[in-house]
Amino acid sequence: MNNTTDTYISIGSNLGNRLETIQEAIFLIAKNIGIVKKCSKVYECPSWGFSGENFLNACLHVQTKLPPEELLINLIEIEKKLGRERSTNNGYQSRTIDLDIIYYDKLIQEDSNLTIPHPKLQDRLFVLKPLADIAPQFYHPTLNKDTRNLIQECKDKSVLTKTTYTLFCNKKELLATAQFLSIEGNIGAG
């Protein structure tokens, strides 16, 4: 893919079938945004900043041709498609899906619609741990520290549990793991 940008996206869910929703979001990202190069492990952790069900969280490495603003618009559309309803209330709340741009290569951008890198990523263990699975040596462009160092300095002491769930970067990868059984015999016999 020519003229692509490496971007890192945080993905989380704490409502409904969390794993299925996250996997569907990944397939929609692969279809509408770009090539999903890597998926982290899936972590379960308590809700952060409010009282709610536990979240499943992961991070993705995506190569995209979309500029940052268009990437954000597409991520919001995917959230809507998967049932996310944004509230006008201040504060955090439960959600079917949450997609955040963590990094857009080394871009530094701050405006009323979008801040890159994500302004709170260094404070959130549920972002840093999955990010370390796929980009342990990626340097934060303003803090000048890699993911591993950010984890060591993170003040968030939430307990994260690495699950045994597997995420697939695209539908072909999923189908490659499927096992099929073929039964042959006379037509009409049995």
6: β partners: 63
Cα separation values, 130 from 28, 116, 125, 133, Å? 20, 18, 9, 5
Task: Tell me how long the chain is.
Answer: 190
d(CA 131, CA 129) in angstroms, rounded, equals 5
Q: Are 187 and 178 in contact (CB under 8 A)?
A: no
Which residues are catalytically annotated?
Answer: 84, 95, 98, 100
d(CA 98, CA 85) in angstroms, rounded, equals 10
Rounded to the nearest 10 degrees, the angle between the axes of helix 18-32 and helix 68-81 is 140
Closest by CA position to 71, among listed 105, 37, 24, 119 = 105
